[in-house]
Amino acid sequence: MNWYDEANYIRKQAMKNNEFFANSLPMIASENVLSPMCREMLVTDFHGRYAEGTPGHRYYEGCRFFDNVEEKAMELAKKLFNCSYADVRPTAGTTANIGVLKALIKPGETATVLDLANGAHISFGKWGGAGVRGINLISYPFNDEEMNIDVDGAVKLIKKEKPKLALNGRSVFLFPSPIKEIAEAAHDVGAYMVYDAAHVLGLIAGGQFQDPLHEGADVMNGSTHKTLPGPQGGMVLSDHKGDTDEDKSFLRKLSFGIFPGVTSSYHLHHVAAKAIAYAEHLEFGEAYAKQTIKNAQAFGQSLCEQGFNVFGEKLGFTKSHQILLAIGPGKGKEASKKLEDAGIVTNMNTIPGDKDPMNPSGLRLGTPELTRIGMKEKEMEDVAEFYARALLKNDDTKKIKADVKEFRKDFQELHYCFKEGFRGYDFHKLI
């Protein structure tokens, strides 16, 4: 191959990827799709530029227009989350988490966390950012039936261990966490409470999940590309006002943890797209969050009726965008591959009791992207039927894939976003 053939090979793979997802059911709970206006920001000249520092205090010249963008992004974020502090610079949710850990806890100090097998995110585990920081991690007790932190046990643990931080980071997030009780216990022992809202950030912004910053959390981190459907990136939020010396010091630490702590250039085109996403969510976020949760609940009910073992049945399966299935000991990977062959994209996941994250027993399913392309409760029944055909009835995956493709034909336009100046959303013409 010459250089052009090499480059064209990459372009063809991108085209094939576009076509694959346009004809599939994308149900990975941590994924979403960008609005046309957000996507436009990613190909502006902001891409590749540097703006180290803060608006008006840069290490580089040429930032006057981006200063306006970052200031507007922070303004919109504060309005969206009804808070007084917003840092839109983190390049990922995990980056935001690590930056906050750098700011608020030293190596060797203790933090209380959720165990990975019970749905924690790896950045708050010993193999992730918390481990890199050298933090002593102690796990909360967990209520398997309620799929949530054991409140009484967590409070007792915090009072006994007196951690520096009480962390709440989850990648399986079916139900709101007991933030008020955990935060009160943390504050009683002089600790900060940090809430990782990576998965549920858009649901919180839409007023449909819980309100961590006003339930006692000192910091809320998040990803900007899951239930808040913006570009891949992260953010840090707090409602500390900075009106005391202690508060000012706390906010300075947060800011310093992100820059220069864990970022240099922080992907200016993504910051611009984040700002668009915040504005869109101020307009459409409540309706989108409501429908996303309705779809997840309807999907859980339909899967249960098909004969699947769905977690949280007694509590309505979920109050978020996620559903967790128990497939069988070590069979999560096999099931996820079979679903992909049938045109359904999801991921294997650990469930309570699992020891090996590479051979888990469950599947984590999400409705954010299906909701964005216009599906509602009725379609969730159809989607559950595709799952049953693939995993319970052992139908031919090629036939299911063809039926999924036909089903997707009516769902190619993006909803819950600004459309002025755009002619719909053609998944086959993204590049």
Reported as a single tens digit per residue, the pLDDT across 130-147 is 888 899 999 999 998 899
pLDDT value of residue 424:
43
CATH no. of 39-277: 3.40.640.10
The answer to whether 313 touches 304, Cβ cutoff 8 Å, is: yes
- Per 3-state DSSP, the chain is made up of helix, strand and coil in percentages (nearest 5) of 45, 15, 40
What are the DSSP E strand ranges found in 165-269?
Answer: 165-169, 192-196, 219-225, 229-238
- The stretches in the chain having pLDDT less than 70 are 420-431
Q: Report pLDDT for 420.
A: 59
The count of residues in the chain is 431
Q: Give the whole-angstrom CA distance, residue 171 versus residue 31.
A: 12
Q: Which CATH class is domain 286-429?
A: alpha beta
Q: Name the residue ranges covered by the structural domains of the chain.
A: 39-277, 286-429
pTM: 0.94
Q: Which residue has the tokens 């990922």?
A: 92
Neighbouring residues of 345: CB distance < 8 A, sequence distance ≥ 6: 21, 24, 25, 26, 27, 28, 339
User: Are the C-beta atoms of residues 297 and 318 closer than 8 Å to each other?
Assistant: yes
